[in-house]
Amino acid sequence: MPIQPKPYKVKCEKCGHTTIVRPRSDCLDPRDLTKQICPTCKLVMPRVPMNIFDKLTTIFYK
């Protein structure tokens, strides 16, 4: 039985843009192998911990 990967959050350190990444399945996708890039600053966005609101959002909005 496949295990669904957990969503994670990335945040730009310069402008504060955040995105929650929700992998669709346990199979690797080319987007899973690349770094998340900020659309505004064009910098690599590192992973940050999700707060309770982010976790609730991922549950109700898939």
Residues 19-61 have pLDDT tens digits of 998 877 777 667 666 788 999 999 999 999 999 999 888 888 7
Greater confidence (2 vs 36) lies with 36
Structure pTM? 0.76
Residues of the chain with pLDDT > 70: what percent? 85
How does residue 2 score in pLDDT terms, banded at 50, 70 and 90?
A: low
SS (H, E, C) 10-60: EECCCCCCEEEECCCCCCCCHHHHCCCECCCCCCECCEECCCHHHHHHHHH
Q: To which residue do tokens 């295990």 refer?
A: 3
